[in-house]
Amino acid sequence: MNDPRYTQLARLLTTHSMAVTPGDKVLVESFEAPPSFVIALIREIAAAGGHPIVTTYDQRIQREMIKHATKEQMSFLGEVEMKRMEGVQCYAGVRGSHNISEMSDIAPEKMELYEKHWWTPVHQSIRVPKTRWVVLRWPSPSMAQNAGMSTEAFEDFYFRVCAGVDYAKMATASKPLADLMTATNDVRLVGPGTDLTFSIKGLGGIACTGERNIPDGECFTSPVRDSINGTILYNAETIYRGQVFKDIALTFKSGKIIDAIGDSPLNTKKLNDILDADEGARHIGEFAIGYNPHVLKPMRDILFDEKISGSFHFTPGQAYEGIADNGNRSQIHWDMVNIQRPDYGGGEIWFDGKMIRKDGLFTLPELAALNPDKLGV
């Protein structure tokens, strides 16, 4: 028997996130998600008049492919995948993983081949700016373990925060923040280990309410590339290339990361290896404020962690091309999260000398609808 939650989520992805219309070609990439959900998604796409095109992946096989990668191989695969992505109007990436550290032992130079010749040209250069796309995780015992929950409790949480959110209500509540972000010149972030200033003048604010990520609940822009000065300490653990990092501290001068420290000498080296991948990796491509009222603690999964209520993320690497775009280009896009609620040390966000959020709660009346007591009911 099909789980009715599968149909509910597949319908949300089809009708709201991708807004599939008759004749649309829809590429579905499924990583270790159950066939019954992929079937539900195929059916919903077809019911909307779309043409589903499906590829399934196994992370262990992907690991082996990347582990033995050559430049010629990844260039060829990138060309093939670019051609396919150019031919579709919509994209859904259903990204499950039985082991979040599956890629942790791949040599950095092999990951760089994959990122440079496959991921960046296919996804950053084509999928993001040219398709109606959505990406989501699929719940697994591994994710439940990272969240400190039983498998059953995590599945209930997952479907509640992914398919049970009133995204229309969130969109209405988010608009004043997007408008304010668009009108703002200067930003200051303050908190334990953090005192950072930068400009967002002229770059706009984009509210995200289920159209690109599930779950959702953030408003993003990007800093003027060379305007960032100060320090930031990220207090949420983060995973990149299968490696866990925590307590990352970055120092900026004129927009560039001039010092990067992890929680150990080994992680500091790995962190700097990633930030040295290319020139753009030491600059910031995104600044975003998170406010999903149901996501409250880090679980080492960025699609959830970047939406944490009372958080912001400040992202080394690639900016979104054509959308709040500061021109920064990189094969890296690493969303690092800081939570400013009192249980994580507190903090403040200031726009043009006016405090807009303190200790994770919006302080301006026009933004109050984004606080969890309003948005979560």
The continuous run of DSSP H or E covering 82 comes out as helix 71-86
pLDDT cut 90: percent of the chain above it: 84
What is the pLDDT averaged over residues 239-258?
Answer: 94
Quick one: tokens of 34? 């159950």
SS3 211: coil
Quick one: tokens of 30? 């499924």
Domain ranges, ordered by start, for the chain: 4-163, 167-375
Q: Residue 15 has what DSSP assignment?
A: I
The answer to whether 219 and 180 are in contact (CB under 8 A) is: no
In tens, the pLDDT along 97-146 reads 888 788 888 998 999 999 999 999 999 999 999 999 999 999 988 888 88
CA 5 → CA 9, 155, 210, distances in Å?
6, 10, 17
Instruction: Return the number of other C-beta atoms located less than 10 Å from residue 103's C-beta.
Output: 21
Measured in residues, the chain has a length of 377
Dist. CA 149–CA 31, nearest whole Å:
22
The answer to whether 231 and 261 are in contact (CB under 8 A) is: no
Q: Residue 131 has what DSSP assignment?
A: S
At residue 162, the pLDDT reads 87
- Alpha helices per DSSP H over the chain: 4-11, 35-47, 59-67, 71-86, 108-114, 128-130, 141-147, 151-163, 167-183, 265-275, 302-305, 372-375
- Cis peptide leading into 215, omega within 30 of 0? yes
Dist. CA 254–CA 197, nearest whole Å:
10
The answer to whether 341 and 310 are in contact (CB under 8 A) is: yes
The distance from CA 301 to its chain's CA centroid, rounded to whole angstroms, is 9
In tens, the pLDDT along 297-334 reads 998 888 899 999 999 999 999 999 888 999 999 999 99
At residue 70, the pLDDT reads 95
Q: Considering the entire predicted model, what is its pTM?
A: 0.81
Quick one: tokens of 2? 């099909």
CATH architecture of the domain formed by 4-163: 3-Layer(aba) Sandwich (3.40)
pLDDT of residue 3 exceeding 90: no
Which among 140, 157, 73 has a CA at the least distance from the CA of 101? 140
